[in-house]
Amino acid sequence: MKATKCVKVPHNEADKVACVFAGYRQMFNEGIRLGAESNITSKRRLYKSIYGKLEQDIHSHYKASCIFHAASTLKAWKTNLKKGHCNRPYLKKQVAKITNQGYVINGNILRIPIRPKEYVYVTLNEHHLSKLAGRKTGEITITPEFIIIPYSKDKEITKPAKWAGIDVNYDNITVAYDDGTVKKFDTSPIRQARQIMVGTVSNFKRRDHRVLKKIASRAGKKYRNRQNAVLHKASKEITSTGHGIICEDLKGIRKKGRRGNGRSKKARRNLNTWPFYILFSMIGYKALWNCLPVIAIDPHGTSSKCSVCGKKLAEEGRMVRCMCGLYVDRDVNASRNILAKGAMFAPARHAGEAMVGCAVTPSRCVSVPNIR
Ligand SMILES: [Zn+2]
């Protein structure tokens, strides 16, 4: 299986690359129009039918990437159309993609074409070179500030000796390990950063939408940086200990946060702004990079039942109490239940092995990866 990671290289060539963005955007939007009119979503068919029709004043290496980019956008649009009405997509951002045949990395210099025989040179530092050394690089993405270079390696998911169960809450991520230890990652800075962003935008009272737009984008960028820093740190620590990962399948979580589902406005806001998808995608690619499997289980009953005897729990604030004498933090109890539930499905587990807290009956396992 191919595992992919990226390096972000900053550059100061925004003026020179600006013409590429303009040409790429026109080609992309034209490609979307032609693809939508002839109802094509396959990459190869779109490439064949529109390659000759797209003409722009940029290097021809951008054309293939642009058509593939447009084809995948068309496919996503078609899927969304089935769910309901949505407008035809168009590219507004300043972005361009180019395949690995278009650019050259020579020593510590990255050479990107703009027009035929016209190039931009970007210097890579030691960190970038150490990441890319001996690895296969893929299609790069160019933005006004960064160049994103993906690099990949073939990885095979192996049998882990140990497993960890992850419970995600509003203010923390709780991880329970096989040996009974528990680790908590504080994610409250994400919510604080969001409150700051919302406050900054709502405190702006002047009737000036251009300034407001600038302020909002700057505040949003700060919030995203904070959020990604917290999530990257947690996901890196979770995936670097060599434990196979068992997490909740949170499909449909946004449905629970809709109006009229018995939740307060504040609870709905907390639920709907939590970056679940970003966290789990980070855990997914980092686990694959470290050859670890990720199993998603149905979270039903994991927070309301005792992790020792399986009986219904009484809640006392953040703590839970059971008839059998258990008195623990509710998140710790939930993460142990998730670990126990997932461990029943884990193919690497031996029958009859003792387990910390194994009282919940398994209902459904969402995905078990092929492990060799
Ligand atoms: Zn109990």
pLDDT tens profile 128-142 = 999 998 899 999 999
Tokens of 8: 């972000």
If pLDDT is split at 50, 70 and 90, which confidence band does 250 have? confident
Distance 320 CA to ligand 1 centre (A): 10
User: How far apart (Å, rounded) are the C-alpha atoms in residues 137 and 135?
Assistant: 6
What pLDDT sits at residue 370? Answer: 53
If pLDDT is split at 50, 70 and 90, which confidence band does 350 have? very low
What are residue 35's DSSP bridge partners? none
Size of the chain, expressed as the number of residues it contains: 372
Instruction: Say if residues 271 and 364 touch (Cβ distance below 8 Å).
Output: no
Tokens of 167: 């419970």
Tokens of 136: 């296969």
Q: Where do the structural domains in the chain lie, given as residue ranges?
A: 2-152, 162-186+240-367
Distance 307 CA to ligand 1 centre (A): 7
CA distances from 213 to 12, 192, 216, 281 (A): 24, 21, 5, 29
Distance 304 CA to ligand 1 centre (A): 11
Distance 171 CA to ligand 1 centre (A): 25
**Strands laid side by side in the 118-123 sheet:** 104-106, 109-115, 118-123
Distance 85 CA to ligand 1 centre (A): 49
Distance from the first to the final alpha carbon of the chain: 12
Task: Determine the average pLDDT of the residues in 145-156.
Answer: 91
| SS3 call for 99 | coil
Higher pLDDT, 249 or 75: 75
Distance 247 CA to ligand 1 centre (A): 22
Distance 327 CA to ligand 1 centre (A): 9
Highest mean pLDDT among 200-209, 275-284, 336-345: 200-209
Distance 363 CA to ligand 1 centre (A): 20
Task: Determine the average pLDDT of the residues in 264-275.
Answer: 87
CA distances from 188 to 64, 165, 194, 216, 232 (A): 43, 20, 10, 22, 14
pLDDT of 99 above 70: yes
